[in-house]
Amino acid sequence: MTNTATTPEPGAPVEPQRPDIRSLARSRRNSLIGALFLMATSAIGPGFITQTATFTSQLGAAFAFGILASVVIDFAVQLNVWRMITVTGKRAPELANLAIPGSGYVLAFLIVLGGLVFNIGNTAGAGLGLNALFGLDPKIGGLISALIAIALFLVKRAGMVVDRVVIVAGLAMIALTVIVAFISQPPVGDALRQTVWPDEINFATITTIVGGTVGGYITYAGAHRLLDSGTAGAAHVKQVNRAAFSGILITGIMRYVLFLAILGVVAGGVIIDTSGAAANPAAQAFQAAAGETGLRLFGAVFWIAAITSIIGSAYTSVSFLPVFSKKLVGRRADYATVAFILVSLAIYLMIGTAPATLLVFVGGFNGLILPIGLTIFMYIGWFRADLMPGYRYPRWLLIFGTSATLLTWYMAVVAVGPIFSLLST
């Protein structure tokens, strides 16, 4: 067969290679899916699972209202923050500094501090998960889990690996929780009624659950991942909106299913210990629902939630550090992420606080941080349209976000005492 390919004459212009459109589209789609699952798995971490078990045992079906409130606030927060960050193409602290000089440094400090507290709790959660799954000492389990997370950030193309891990882990977590929810047979009718008309409203629990699902670093996790994948500019608003909406929907369903799984156990008369030094409320609920198999299922769910949250917390917290030093990008950012995980691990191994108590506290702490960042972003939306040139920001979205901001400030003021009192238990 004759080779018909021709070699260009020396000096002749070379036609530039056209990008593989399908490959670009596939890469962008995978990045969007990875971003929404990074947000979703971060929002359904071990803290949220423990908080759900603790508050469901205390409030019963009335806690359904707290779940609904967290989802509504989630929508208001994520749709605004994701849009502003991706339209401007700037990470949260950089954007904040442009809007209010110096505020980006304050925001970065609070997010990194909150992320560190979160990650200590995530490491504790990973230890509890492996304890339930294999009977390992929780601190040994936390050590093993932290080393696994570190390995993911040291491999080449760490971003792609992280995306794939959180997607597979997130789907597995949802499937396992649905199984337990069916087994526990919760009073669905009562839960649905109290979702909109609760017998009791407890702002401390709502602040804690909001903080555990959208507070601190979680607000920015998906948006920063999108920027790192090259999804920036007003042209991508529809894609970003779809990813944010899908991620919130996934977390909303997962939260409610988990709540129903535990409610079925509580409604059946099982008393869950939420205050003992060795208490593991969610493990007790899963075990009561499905015996030894339920305990193993809990271990798998809890460990998956913890390891993906360790990844999300470390990745997003470090993504705020370049505002202090422009050198913290690329592989240096990966090494900083490893250091962040090691510091979290070291603090967890040294402290004596009961893991379950710690996991409830971290949600509340980040719930107190949440309104500060929201205030900055609402200011940008209302008064700094110049930072989004050529883009007209939806007024309804600003009203929605501002309402959520005022609500989170109110809840933070009301809940600050009860949240910090957890440290003395």
Model confidence over 305-321: pLDDT tens digits?
888 888 888 888 888 98
Confirm whether 13 is domain-assigned: no
Which of the two residues, 158 and 374, has the higher pLDDT score? 374
Give the number of other Cβ atoms within 10 Å of residue 79's Cβ.
19
Give the total number of structural domains in the chain: 1
Residue indicated by tokens 């609904």: 68
Q: Tell me, what amino acid is at 214?
A: V
Give the side-chain half-sphere CA count within 13 A for 223.
Answer: 28
Residue 366 has pLDDT above 80, yes or no: no
pTM here is 0.78
Confirm whether 18 is domain-assigned: no
Average confidence (pLDDT) over 83-93: 92
Average confidence (pLDDT) over 158-163: 64
Instruction: Considering only the C-alpha atoms of the chain, give the largest distance between any 2 of them, rounded to a whole number of Å.
Output: 85
Q: What is the span of the domain harbouring residue 182?
A: 29-268+277-424
Confirm whether 11 is domain-assigned: no
Average confidence (pLDDT) over 139-144: 91
Distance between CA 287 and CA 385 in Å, rounded?
Answer: 53
Average confidence (pLDDT) over 172-185: 81
Distance between CA 106 and CA 115 in Å, rounded?
Answer: 14
Return the structure tokens found at 253: 């369903």
Distance between CA 13 and CA 422 in Å, rounded?
Answer: 71
**pLDDT of res. 14:** 45
Closest CA to 267 of 347, 192, 195, 190: 190
Confirm whether 325 is domain-assigned: yes
**pLDDT of res. 162:** 65
Confirm whether 152 is domain-assigned: yes
Strand, coil or helix: 4: coil
Residue 102 has pLDDT above 80, yes or no: yes
**pLDDT of res. 17:** 47
What is the chain's Cα-based Rg?
A: 22
Confirm whether 338 is domain-assigned: yes
> Could you report the per-residue pLDDT of 14-39, keeping only the tens digit for each?
444 444 555 555 555 655 666 666 66
Residue indicated by tokens 């779940």: 67
**pLDDT of res. 384:** 92
Confirm whether 39 is domain-assigned: yes
> Could you report the per-residue pLDDT of 25-74, keeping only the tens digit for each?
555 565 566 666 666 666 677 777 888 888 888 888 999 998 898 889 88
Which of the two residues, 382 and 4, has the higher pLDDT score? 382
CATH number of the domain bearing residue 112? 1.20.1740.10
Distance between CA 358 and CA 355 in Å, rounded?
Answer: 5
**pLDDT of res. 6:** 47
- Cβ-Cβ contacts under 8 Å for 349 (sequence gap 6 or more): 139, 142, 143
Confirm whether 12 is domain-assigned: no
Contact present, 268 and 288 (Cβ < 8 Å): yes
Average confidence (pLDDT) over 179-189: 86
Mean of all residue pLDDT scores within the chain: 80
